[in-house]
Structure 1
Amino acid sequence: MKRTHAGLVVAITGGAAGIGREIAHQFAEAGARVCIGDLSGHDARVVARQLPGTVHGCELDVTDERSFHSFLATTEALLGPIDVLVNNAGVMWVGSFDAEPDTATARMIAVNLHGVIRGVRLVAPGMRTRRRGHIVTIASAAAKVSPPGESTYAATKHGVLGYLTGVREELRGTGVRVSVVMPGVVDTELAVGTATGAAKLLQPGDVARAVLDVVERPRFEVSIPGYVSPLVHLAGLLPQRLRDPLLRRAVPNQVAAVRGSAARDAYEGRRVLGEPDS
């Protein structure tokens, strides 16, 4: 057990499955006290009972101010002041930009971007008053690149990185840390049916380990794999005629990956378009 994590109060959005669940698991194993929020409060409570240590589950809709405020207030009532907020909730629609439903566009902006802004705005003032705290946001390698077929998703992740860059500077010297974790394609329901490009497929545990590590050794940007950000930076130094073919070899074309496939239909219908389960 790492003493840096033992006793920490950690709140995690989108914590009932995938990356969020694994982050909760690893924090709990390390001795932190955890509250996971998820759109399905039932799923959050079931997962909380399955994890070791002190873990609570709550209903949370990151697109609703009252719901997010209630989640944070419940966490503090149960466990004490929040030391770490992990903004993990996210959704993704994949396909050609001109086929993207307006509902999907609005949902990605509401969850991926405004949900992060809302979480930071609600939790940071208390951390600043206590002069301690850490906000960790799970963004994506799409915060640095824009895969074809993920244009709006990438726009939300670029927006998250830009927003947190400014917030980090505003919080400088207050004792509040801000970090952005940017993984490539992770083996979760969100990424089902998509391609990984030149990078290997990541597991939720890879991202969770990066989150615990950045809480132990704070820094602003964390890419997984670690070579992604340097590669993008180097590519940015090249003229466009050389940059384009390099990035086309490294970055997956998700329009091609999902063309003719129904692999994402169930996830996107339920999580992005709000269709009832069949």
Structure 2
Amino acid sequence: MAHAFSRPRTSPRPRSLAAPPAAAPGADSARTGHRPGAPATTRTRTALITGASSGIGAAVARRLAAEGTWEMVLTGRDPARLRAVAEDAAATAFAADLTDPGAGRLLADFTQAAVGPVDLLVAGAGVGWAGDFREMPQRSIDEVFAVDVLAPLRLVRLLLPGMVAAGTGRVVLVGSLAGCVGVRGEAVYSAAKAALGTFADALRYELRDTGVGVSHVVPGVVDTPFFERRGSPYRRSRPRPVPPERVADAIRDAVGRGRDEVYVPGWLRLPCRVRGAAPGLYRRLAGRFG
């Protein structure tokens, strides 16, 4: 898809940065500034948030904007909704489909030119598909892995060298309970989120003593458009969906405290631990209660 970026109405930024790269055909020029009312004594940090046109990504953007100390680039696949979130959060919108060839490179280059070296990457984009694996189209299998695994890995690979060189930074990968325990009717989504969680663990070991942290945030059911888009609404009475703002608060807490793994809500640690400690018991319970 064509890349598009827009400029919300903001005040000038507090530091000098290189000019953004030339716009893609049909795109609007964009830059953002320091959010009005930010404490003058607090250093402005930079963040790139994917999946920011709705749901968890949008909630994270608004949560960081409320702090007044972040310059942000937001990306998502819906230009109109992304622009609205960016206006609300005083951030730069760069609409893109990160599964397109070269889209990650364009986004990384634009972000670094527009707001400078990235202090925080929140990989919040994700898609799912519900139904029996035997009936899942190949194109849907490819899309789930492209969006949920390959796109964030490519983006991390592009931004990580700068973080390591600076000796600071944090990568936040938004996983899912499905990646810890597996969910009936979501075999490929579960596999994709499991891959993301294992990547987070392995990368964290690799980055030890570099100053760069990795947070794996594991939400359960979240009240977002995710279920409608996967083709099957959420119909279970339990667990009850949590608002995306709750996940955004958990992400902000993980960033502020340097936490490696966060579950939302916290009790979700229990089924993951039961599965690890007593897999036979867990499978019997999961087979009975779903």
TM above 0.5, one fold?
yes
Output the TM-score relative to the length of structure 2: 0.79
The secondary structure found in structure 1 opposite 2:189 is helix
Question: Which of residues 208, 212, 215 in structure 2 aligns to 1:176?
Answer: 212
Aligned to 1:227: 267
Per-residue Cα deviation, 1:1-46 (whole angstroms, up to 9, x for no partner): 9989962211001111111111101111111111101123443223
Per-residue Cα deviation, 1:118-162 (whole angstroms, up to 9, x for no partner): 111111111000010000011111120111111000000000011
> Structure 1: which amino acid aligns with 2:248?
A
Q: Does the 8 A contact of 2:77 with 2:97 survive in 1?
A: yes
Query: What are the equivalent positions in structure 2 for 1:1-278 lying under 5 Å apart?
Result: 7-31=44-68, 32-49=70-87, 51-52=88-89, 54-192=90-228, 193-196=233-236, 198-238=238-278, 240=280, 242-248=281-287, 251=290
Q: Does the 8 A contact of 1:15 with 1:44 survive in 2?
A: yes
Q: Give the whole-Å Cα distance in 2 for the aligned partners of 1:207 and 1:155.
A: 21
> Structure 2: which amino acid aligns with 1:115?
A
Mean Cα deviation higher: 74-83 or 227-236: 227-236
Q: Give the whole-Å Cα distance in 2 for the aligned partners of 1:68 and 1:134.
A: 18
The secondary structure found in structure 1 opposite 2:94 is strand
Aligned to 1:272: none
Higher percent of residues as helix: 1
> Structure 2: which amino acid aligns with 1:34?
M
Per-residue Cα deviation, 1:57-113 (whole angstroms, up to 9, x for no partner): 002222235211221222222222111000011111101111111110000011101
Output the TM-score relative to the length of structure 1: 0.83
Q: Does the 8 A contact of 1:84 with 1:134 survive in 2?
A: yes
> Structure 1: which amino acid aligns with 2:86?
A
Q: Give the whole-Å Cα distance in 2 for the aligned partners of 1:237 and 1:197.
A: 27
Q: Does the 8 A contact of 2:181 with 2:271 survive in 1?
A: no
Mean Cα deviation higher: 157-166 or 35-44: 35-44
Q: Does the 8 A contact of 1:198 with 1:250 survive in 2?
A: no
Q: Does the 8 A contact of 1:65 with 1:118 survive in 2?
A: no
Q: Does the 8 A contact of 2:181 with 2:275 survive in 1?
A: no
Q: Does the 8 A contact of 1:5 with 1:30 survive in 2?
A: no
Aligned residues between the structures? 248
> Structure 1: which amino acid aligns with 2:204?
R
* Percent identity of equivalent pairs: 33
Cα-Cα RMSD:
2.2
